[in-house]
Amino acid sequence: GQSLEQPSEVTAVEGAIVQINCTYQTSGFYGLSWYQQHDGGAPTFLSYNALDGLEETGRFSSFLSRSDSYGYLLLQELQMKDSASYFCAVRAPAAGAAGNKLTFGGGTRVLVKP
């Protein structure tokens, strides 16, 4: 089966940098994804890492180390609108079916204060 661990909550001030760590145990692994979800909203795709290293997309960066079963999401220059929940998700083979599916962690609630 799959299990993912990430901190439940992080608080930071505007302009700061936040790193959300994610460790995983998985049977089968294609890559690690990150999603953002505002209260009452749908999860939205932020990034995907299939290979080791850092992927940068604007203020957000995501890192993966496959040998350590570890990744992180880095939020820079925090803004009030970044207050949301952030989920890491492992992409792995689907059971008895072609293709793949995502297994999500419990989410990290980020609160940005003025």
Partner 1 sequence: GAGVSQSPSNKVTEKGKDVELRCDPISGHTALYWYRQSLGQGLEFLIYFQGNSAPDKSGLPSDRFSAERTGGSVSTLTIQRTQQEDSAVYLCASSPPFGRANYGYTFGSGTRLTVV
Give the interface with partner 1 as residue ranges (CB under 8 A).
Answer: 31, 33, 41-45, 48, 50, 87, 89, 91, 94-107
Smallest separation, CB 28 to partner 1 (Å) = 12
Smallest separation, CB 15 to partner 1 (Å) = 27
Quick one: 21 or 103, whose CB is closer to partner 1?
103
- Structure letter (DSSP) for residue 94: P
Quick one: 13 or 57, whose CB is closer to partner 1?
57
Cα–Cα distances in Å, from 78 out to 18, 61, 74? Answer: 8, 13, 10
67 CB neighbour count, 10 Å cutoff: 7
Quick one: 58 or 96, whose CB is closer to partner 1?
96
Quick one: 96 or 114, whose CB is closer to partner 1?
96
Distance CA 98, CA 29 (A): 15
Smallest separation, CB 57 to partner 1 (Å) = 12
Smallest separation, CB 76 to partner 1 (Å) = 21
Strand partners, 31: 91
Helix (H) or strand (E) holding 4: strand 3-5
Residue type for position 106: G
